[in-house]
């Protein structure tokens, strides 16, 4: 990681790192626990799907909406990694995204709380790559201003996600926190 010696840059780096930690916490809660209270499933709930993008072992193929959601959820990962560790090579950042995604899928299998799916690892990694590309292209087009702009965009997204979760928690659905509902269109 880059070590910043300029005192004016350091607080922003700390802020971006804090946003990354908050993003990871929300991502883990969303992916592993689907926005519900943490739990551990039984052995009968343990599912592993190693054939990507197609139906296999009694499991259906991945819904396009779910694939798109996975892609979009990991775009901030690539952006934030690029902001936190700008000196890292693309393959190192790519490896970090893939490793984190594989760790989430492994946790789902170990805890028996969801289907561990190779499709998710591939699509999540692609989302991180898309984030890296967005950051890289914006740096080419706008220079150093792109860094601050992306930090603001990610911060707004995080605040929006926290507010949406807070509003969802106020929903009187039985069983705790209600899943978020998105309007079509």
- Is the pLDDT at 177 greater than 60? The verdict is no
Q: Which residues contact 36 (CB under 8 A, 6 or more apart)?
A: 175, 176, 177
User: Domain boundaries in the chain?
Assistant: 10-32+46-169
Provide the pLDDT for residue 170.
66
C-beta separation of 179 from 34 below 8 A: yes
Q: How confident is the model over 91-114, as pLDDT tens digits? A: 999 999 999 999 999 999 888 888
The CA-based angle 179-180-183, given to 5 degrees, is: 135
Q: How confident is the model over 121-135, as pLDDT tens digits? A: 999 999 999 999 999
- Is the pLDDT at 180 greater than 60? The verdict is no
CA nearest neighbour of 109 among 24, 61, 55, 43: 43
Q: What is this structure's pTM?
A: 0.80
CA nearest neighbour of 57 among 47, 42, 65: 47
């Amino acid at each position: 990681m880059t070590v910043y010696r300029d005192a004016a840059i350091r607080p922003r780096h700390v802020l971006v790192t804090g946003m990354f930690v908050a993003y990871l916490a929300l991502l883990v809660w969303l992916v592993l626990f689907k926005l519900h209270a943490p739990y551990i499933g039984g052995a009968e709930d343990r599912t592993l799907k190693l054939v990507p993008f197609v139906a296999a072992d009694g499991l259906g193929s991945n819904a396009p909406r779910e694939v798109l959601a996975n892609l979009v959820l990991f775009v901030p990962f690539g952006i934030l990694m690029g902001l936190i560790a700008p000196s890292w090579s693309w393959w190192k950042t790519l490896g970090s995204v893939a490793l984190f995604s594989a760790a989430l899928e492994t946790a789902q299998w170990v805890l028996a709380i969801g289907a561990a799916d190779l499709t998710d690892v591939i699509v999540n990694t692609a989302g991180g790559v898309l984030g890296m590309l967005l950051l890289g292209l914006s740096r080419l087009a706008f220079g150093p201003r792109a860094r601050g702009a992306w930090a603001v965009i990610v911060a707004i997204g995080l605040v929006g996600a926290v507010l949406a979760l807070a509003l969802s928690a106020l929903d009187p659905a039985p069983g705790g926190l209600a899943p978020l509902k998105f309007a079509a269109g």
